Amino acid sequence: MQEGRQIVAYFDFDGTLSSRDTLLPFLIYAVGIWRFLSCVPSLLPIVIRYTLRLINNEQAKQLTLQRVIAGMKSYVLEQKAKNFALTRLNKYLKPAVYSKLEWHREHGHTLVLVSANLGIYLRYWARLHKLDYVIATEIDIDKRNRVTGRLQTHNCYGREKVTRIKQFLAENHLSFSYSYAYGNSAGDYALFDYANEPFYVSGDSVERWSGR
């Protein structure tokens, strides 16, 4: 590993590199607007339970996926994910934050996307933009190659981001001498505590994280 590659930059995606959460646009793209609208009545109770903190974000995400994409053929969803990543995601990018990613790339740093959103489409976006690795929430596929709607991993949020990073580094025999982190919400606080140099993103502003 070259000297520059001993440095790693961890980037959150939704609200950090992108201007909005991208799961909803992806689900609409994957199943079509009319199919999605037909799911709305069954999604409203999930939103209410999550708002009232009766369920956490992992449970809410899994219930939503079970309502919307369960039963889809995996290759169909994979193709939808690829098309969405290559044709739709770029319009949500924040130029000011993306320029930070470019700076790290130019300096030869390892780039890792660490997101609570779905790896099935984030991997295609990361490949397009020459990021090295993606650590994200993964969905379950059954033996018939159908999407179950269940999560294959825990929701990659909060402390789970650091747990997944450590697991990923150990499994791939990787280590870094210095780390940067970019995030925009409480879901990134644990990542900030883990990194040597954390940055908080608010809109188009990128500021050194000074604590909660």
pLDDT of residue 210: 84
Buried b / exposed e along 19-55 (16+ C-beta atoms within 10 A): eeebbebbbbbbbeeeebeeeeeebeebeeebeeeeb
pLDDT of residue 212: 66
Quote the CA–CA distance of 115 and 187 in Å, as a whole number: 9
Domains of the chain: 3-208 (3.40.50.1000)
pLDDT of residue 1: 41
Cα-atom radius of gyration of the chain, to the nearest Å? 17
The DSSP 8-state label assigned to residue 55 in this structure reads: S
The tens-digit pLDDT sequence of the chain (212 residues) is: 444 469 999 999 999 999 999 999 999 999 999 999 999 999 999 999 999 999 999 999 999 999 999 999 999 999 999 999 999 999 999 999 999 999 999 999 999 999 999 999 999 999 999 999 999 999 999 999 999 999 999 999 999 999 999 999 999 999 999 999 999 999 999 999 999 999 999 999 999 998 76
pLDDT of residue 5: 62
Handedness of CA 186, 12, 14, 162 (dihedral sign): negative
pLDDT of residue 175: 92
Which residue, among 156, 112, 163, has the nearest Cα to 8 in the 3D structure?
A: 112
Quote the CA–CA distance of 112 and 109 in Å, as a whole number: 10
Strands 178-183 and 197-202: parallel
